[in-house]
A and B are shown apart, each in its own frame.
Chain A
Amino acid sequence: MSLKRRVRKNIWLNEWNDIVRGASGGFLLGTPLLYTMEVWWIGSFAEPPRLLISLLTNFVVVFLLIRTEGFRRTGKIGLIDALMDSIETLAIGAICAAIILVLIREINLATSINEALGKIVFESAPFSLGVAVANSALSGDRDGRERTSRNNLSNGQKHLSSHSKTAEINATLADIGATLIGAIFIAFSISPTEEVPMLAAAMTPPWLLATIAASVLISYGIVFVSGLTNQAKRQQQQGLFQRPLSETVMCYLVSLLAAALMLWFFHQLSIDDPWTVWLSHTIVLGLPATIGGAAGRIVV
């Protein structure tokens, strides 16, 4: 009885992990285009027949990708499975795109259903492509890095107590470095654009709080749910912030700092600006920066 229940629980957990992995891939590929106002506009005035054509095109491309990749860890799959997975991929993409569009206030209660549909259909295209390649995009072996560095250390040094501290600091620095690289990789191309002040202008404090929450959740999902690492190995991981929650928060702060610096670099923010402007702009750019940072920690 208890074994049966455990198997059942495992099935749901596996499925949840698959979905989160897919969504993570979607966020990674889709977020830069979510911060592109031209895509909103295309969605705003697209006519229904064009929307259907876009959906169909997207479906075909996703289907072809699923035949070789996909978001589940199943390897090559049959035709019907690929079709079913394609439908799931498109749905995950649409839901994720819709959530972020609501978060950045591009879809709100005043938005007509036509416009919302158009925005979701066009923004879900990069999202679903991200979902479709999630397995290969997010399968960078985080453990591999740890393992080799640990092997090197144990080969080179025999004094466990003296090297454990440097290893701890090294692992923390590696995490921060990877976060920075990922954050810059995704958010650098967004930071000089007009979208950041535009989105920040529409953000009220509750929405800023929601954006912070979403950033942390997505970052956690990418690193600790969708990655290849399993629970036991993650516990062994070294570093000052080796616990998942503290690592996520620390990397969010690093991403925010990177976002603020990028905005300042491109003269989007100046010292004379009030702190509220710094705060809202940084949190708005912090979302893609955090997503990039999370991916960086897996891949780099």
Chain B
Amino acid sequence: MVGKIVAVEGVEGSGRTLHAEGIRTYLEEQGYGVITFGLGMSKLLGEAIARKKRDVVFQRRTLFLAYVTDLADQVENLVKPAVESGFVALADGYVLTLMAWGLTRGLERNWMEGVLRALPRPELTLALIAPPEEIMKRIIRKKGVLDPLSSGVDLCVNGDLYQGFRQYLERYLNNMRSLASDKGGVTVDTGRDFKVVQEEINSLVGGDLGEA
């Protein structure tokens, strides 16, 4: 197996970062060189997005394009050279995470797919989902509060943060499920015991990359 992209996709609280770290450890134990990249992690735009996100939350197209630029910068400067020299590039949030975000906010699917054609396709896509209650519990555990921004307050119309967040997550997860099945990704339910999930993921990663 030489040089591939493995994408771990999912909403905040789906276990993306944790499982990506698990995959990294697993692959390194197998002797692979691994680099990690992902949404909002570019030198070019990562910091600017984090700083401005609250101000542009209602400008969906701007934010979408900012994230595509952010990913493209990493793909061109980090991922491509690493993959060419045989590394596995592990994405902590890639095109499906972004597309599910855009679909949930009413951006046109055709337009997003057209723009995202500029980015390379992953060898393996893992779409992480979990029950909304579980995701919200994780976020409260980690941050102490439900952040209105990441809870999709920009599409919450009933003013009730909890219900708004819940509805948002249901829509997002449905989009993620159907994107995963359309795009040939493997859906992984992270609502279960962490170890069990990681073992399942490892066997998927090992199986898939081992074959090629």
Pair from one complex:
no
Q: Which residues of B contact A (CB under 8 A)?
A: none
Q: Which residues of A contact B (CB under 8 A)?
A: none
